[in-house]
């Protein structure tokens, strides 16, 4: 019985030392990851848009609450009404399984007229897939059919990944 108590207490002390060392290593090392690649997606609302574009992601690697910041460009096309939607946007996520919050600027055209818009979005990103929902606030200069309220799913194909480690 005494041997078990000694083994358990030594294991507990060793484990607590390792955990404290891990936090020290995290505070000394600053690890940043930069990725860019192709973005494929589909947007569904009243109309269905197929999307293709590019995305750049910056992530600060930490044990908990790792922030991710992204910038993207998308060109979306709707075949039935011959519409095109250019999107320039960004989103931010804190942690590994938290929601992402974004803002996008749009230029929507039917190849005769165009209008501009802004859309805030909220989503969830996991394993390269990013499910988003949002609302487009647009100028009402011309009656161009488009999705005001939408849900989209995107997949990020990483083309290049660079990791920088800095010792503090």
Q: For the whole model, what pTM was predicted?
A: 0.76
> What is the pLDDT, as a whole number, of residue 22?
47
Q: What are phi and psi of 77, to 5 degrees?
A: -130, 140
* Portion of the chain with pLDDT greater than 90, in percent: 54
Tens of pLDDT along 40-69? 999 999 999 999 999 999 988 777 788 889
Architecture in CATH of 31-167: Beta Barrel (2.40)
Distances (CA, A) of 3 to 102, 126, 152, 162: 57, 46, 60, 49
Tens of pLDDT along 116-131? 999 999 999 888 899 9
* Gap between the Cα atoms of 41 and 75, Å rounded: 10
pLDDT bucket at 5, cuts 50 / 70 / 90: low
């Amino acid at each position: 019985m005494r041997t078990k108590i000694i083994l358990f207490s030594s294991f507990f002390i060793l484990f607590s030392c390792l955990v404290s060392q891990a936090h020290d290593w995290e505070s000394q090392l600053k690890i940043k990851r930069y990725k860019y690649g192709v973005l494929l997606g589909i947007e569904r609302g009243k109309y269905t848009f197929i999307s293709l574009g590019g995305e750049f992601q910056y992530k600060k690697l930490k044990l908990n609450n790792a922030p991710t910041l992204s910038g993207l460009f998308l060109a979306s096309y709707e075949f039935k009404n011959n519409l095109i939607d250019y999107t320039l946007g960004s989103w931010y996520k804190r942690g590994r399984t938290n929601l992402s919050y974004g803002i996008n600027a749009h230029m929507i055209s039917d190849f005769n007229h165009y209008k501009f818009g802004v859309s805030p979005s909220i989503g969830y990103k996991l394993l390269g897939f990013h499910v988003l929902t949002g609302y487009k606030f647009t100028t009402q200069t011309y009656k161009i059919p488009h999705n005001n309220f939408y849900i989209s799913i995107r997949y990020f194909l990483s083309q290049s990944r660079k990791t920088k480690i800095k010792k503090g």
